Amino acid sequence: MKDKEIGKIYETRDYEKFNKYEWNREINQNTLRKIEKSVQENGWKVEPIIVNKELGIYDGQHRWMYAKENNLPLYYIIIPDITREDCQRMNAVRTSWKNQDYINFYAMQGNVNYLYLANLDKEFKSFDYGVLLYAINKTTYGGGTLKLIQNGNFQCTANQYNEAIDKLDYLTNLFPYLKQIKGRRTQMCWAILFAYDLENVDKERLAKVIKENCNMINPPVDTDSALKELERIYNYNIKKKENIVYLLTEWKKSR
């Protein structure tokens, strides 16, 4: 049986006729350097890029960019009915997508949950996704959360977004002091945000004792040890028993 022809490979040096979609991954300089190293060792032997009928690049934007920058022939295949999800899957197989890639992918499609997360990431660059996610929904970052982000099922309401801004503003004011604390910074941020949400914790006192004692805080190795340190410095010199907080106990009760 004769094989069915489903596409042709074209060659061009007209790089400008191709479209790079905003929702696709950003051009990564490390990937371009890997292509350059391969070209130096093996010559310009690359797979064709994959485009749709409008010549939008779905797979191969780094090959397109390298060919464009070095005036090399660009090979391409047109697949008319290719989808954005196909693009995500192809890129994930070639080079694992990072959190930012998934967030941008869904945000550029207008998914408001990911737009909120992308906005927080842009505004609060000092903190990693583990801190941002905890500020949104009190989720400690792990494999389950990553799958939610990858699958497009991450949720963030307008109320959660606004509350997260308040919490991250609070952390931002403490950031110069957090940098002086050795150990796991993400876990210390989780501990602070957990304390921030407790009704019996005085937020002004919490900020004050962190600023005054940052150099005397033992390096946390996990969230439990971070909570112990916060509890220790917060409760120091408190006269009234009812004002003492038990952060680690409350944390364990909440798990």
Give the CATH number for residue 14.
3.90.1530.10
H helical segments located in the chain: 29-42, 61-70, 84-94, 99-107, 112-123, 129-137, 143-151, 158-178, 185-197, 203-213, 223-235, 247-254
pLDDT value, residue 136: 94
Number of domains in the chain: 2
Q: What is the pLDDT of residues 109-160, one digit of tens each?
A: 789 999 999 999 999 999 988 899 999 988 776 656 677 787 788 899 999 9
Give per-residue pLDDT as tens, 203-216: 999 999 999 999 99
Does a structural domain hold residue 249?
yes
Last residue of a domain, one of 65, 96, 127: 96
Residue after which a domain boundary falls, among 44, 74, 96? 96
Note whether residue 134 is domain-resident.
no
What average pLDDT does the chain have?
87
What is d(CA 247, CA 233) in angstroms, rounded to the nearest whole number? 11
Residue 194 belongs to domain spanning: 180-254
pLDDT tens digits, 211-232: 999 999 999 999 999 999 999 9
CA distance 214 to 204: 15
User: Is 190 contained in some domain?
Assistant: yes
